[in-house]
Chains A and B, each alone.
Chain A
């Protein structure tokens, strides 16, 4: 047992490759047999990943899901920001510039629209729950933008720790829902071409959510959605503690 543990921990990234590989094989098997291919295998794999993350998180009390389980620490490296960004950039290989240009303006508009709309929705819900302090309303609104914009904004404008934690949770809910919801709604929102994928990426903005959501819908759309989504958090961090906070302070 101890030998096994040593080997697993020493080779954690390799263990992660094996575990993820088996999970994906199993997911494609389920997609094929149970749903006759109606649900994408990758959508099932991502959903299984999220379920495993929930149990990993509750079992260890950590905040990196399955990666906090000692024997599966390599999942953290394999699915961490560095590998994620590397793989996202590689999907741009073979993309045609003309496709990007076609949706250029709509893509840029969607980033700003996405940040502002998510912020307004989040802030309105904070108000509905009885918050009256502008810093708290702004921070929760920023959390609905992404779980990075929430704490960055909250710390900049001096929101309480409790509110900052709430904003992170709101951002996490958003990111997870985008992962699961995208393949389900894709047909109804016209998400089947590069242009709408760029608009979608700009509106949703959560890099993880968009990356997984498009992977489960149509991997060909990934580079377009990811391209705009990666600007979103930066724009959110720019607007949150400045203009958006001033506007909220003016109202409350």
Chain B
């Protein structure tokens, strides 16, 4: 049943969000701390474990894969509702602060990646998931 996979995905998201929200309260931070990341870990555990096989394989799995394939369309819709006009109105200070933060962060990617040890490029980067 396709809905089993969708339900598993939903339960992972809700559990992750609740934990992220609770972490925020515990740290007295006005934000959800890593809720989505924690939800992703739950899904990784579920899809790697035997107990959840019936919820992640066959039709149930395609319920999860559907949403994974909808990822890019959803991101396009997300881009279409960004406050681009607001970003432009911020003036030179906002522009420079944003640009400089991105440039410096990009530059640090190769530096910190070395901490992770050996790195192999993902095989076959063509044509994946979306559309």
At the interface, is chain B mostly helix, strand, loop or mixed?
helix
Q: How far is the CA of A97 from the CA of B40 in the complex (A)?
A: 11
Q: How far is the CA of A165 from the CA of B35 in the complex (A)?
A: 26
CB distance from A173 to the nearest CB of B (A): 3
Q: Does B51 contact A (CB under 8 A)?
A: no
Q: Does B37 contact A (CB under 8 A)?
A: yes
Would A79 and B95 count as touching, CB distance under 8 A? no
Q: Which residue of B44, B86, B112 is within 8 Å of A109 (Cβ)? A: B112
Q: Does A52 contact B (CB under 8 A)?
A: yes
Would A57 and B85 count as touching, CB distance under 8 A? yes
Q: Does A244 contact B (CB under 8 A)?
A: no
Would B109 and A189 count as touching, CB distance under 8 A? yes
Give the contacts of B32-46 with A (CB-CB under 8 A): 32-37, 39-41, 43-45
Q: Does A134 contact B (CB under 8 A)?
A: no
Would A238 and B27 count as touching, CB distance under 8 A? yes
Give the contacts of A137-181 with B (CB-CB under 8 A): 140-141, 143-145, 148-149, 152, 156, 165-179, 181
Count residues on chain B whose CB falls below 8 Å from chain A CBs: 87
Q: What are 28 A-B residue pairs whose CB atoms fall within 8 Å in the complex?
A: A20-B77, A24-B72, A45-B79, A78-B77, A80-B78, A85-B13, A89-B39, A91-B68, A92-B39, A95-B44, A96-B44, A97-B44, A110-B108, A122-B101, A125-B96, A129-B92, A144-B101, A169-B87, A170-B93, A170-B94, A170-B97, A171-B98, A174-B101, A181-B102, A191-B109, A208-B82, A226-B36, A233-B31
| 18 further contact pairs, Cβ within 8 A, besides A65-B85, A172-B94 | A20-B80, A49-B80, A57-B86, A85-B36, A90-B64, A91-B129, A93-B61, A105-B116, A129-B93, A144-B100, A166-B90, A172-B90, A190-B119, A195-B116, A199-B112, A199-B113, A220-B125, A229-B37
Q: Measuring CB to CB, which residues of chain B are less than 8 angstroms from any residue of chain A?
A: 9-10, 12-13, 16-17, 20, 23-24, 27, 29-37, 39-41, 43-45, 47-48, 56, 61, 64-65, 67-68, 70-102, 104-110, 112-113, 115-117, 119-122, 125, 128-131
